[in-house]
Amino acid sequence: MKNNVPCLMYHSVGIVNPKWHWNYLTCPYQVFENQLSILKKLSYRTVSLTELYNYMMHGKKLPKKSIVITFDDGYLDNWVFAYPLLKKYEFCATVFVNPDFVEKRNIVRKRLDQVDDISDLHIC
């Protein structure tokens, strides 16, 4: 029997902006860092969705205490705030980029030319 692998899903990480309609999607920076710190202290290891798939479908082994971290929408703050913390704690994450959010010149959204930059960072 296979063990369950927890998956933490985020949208936005950073400074909560009460004026932003979707502010409830933001995990405050310090809260996110505290969560990563606790996961690290408890010896959790992040795995990619490909690794999880191979575990579930083909029985490939995963490290003990494996966990998956994902970000929906691909907000700019995933790169600005979350990525440096993920790197600090030696974690990876999968970012699902919403194509509707690309090219809009809003501070919380990325530009198309930044999408390649994020994929080059090897977040996971």
pLDDT of residue 112: 46
* Domain hosting residue 33, numbered range: 7-120
Position 124 scores a pLDDT of 55
How high is the pLDDT of residue 5?
Answer: 96
Residue at 96 is within a domain: yes
**If we measure between CA atoms, which residue out of 28, 29, 48, 42 comes closest to residue 91?**
48
Number of domains in the chain: 1
* pLDDT for res 1: 46
Residue 68 located in a structural domain: yes
Rounded distance, CA 84 to CA 81, Å? Answer: 6
* C-alpha–C-alpha distance, residues 65 and 69, integer Å: 13
The set of residues, in sequence order, having a beta carbon less than 8 Å from that of 86 and lying 6+ positions away, is 36, 69, 92, 93, 123
pLDDT given at position 122: 46
Q: Mean pLDDT, 10 residues at a time, over the chain (124 residues)?
A: 86 87 89 98 96 94 96 89 96 87 55 52 51
- Domain membership of residue 2 (yes or no) is no
Whether residue 57 lies inside any domain: the answer is yes
Burial tier of 20 (Cβ tally within 10 Å: 0-12, 13-18, 19+): middle
pLDDT at 123: 59
Residues 14 and 81 sit within 8 Å (Cβ to Cβ): yes
Q: Is 112 helix (H, G, I), strand (E, B) or coil?
A: helix
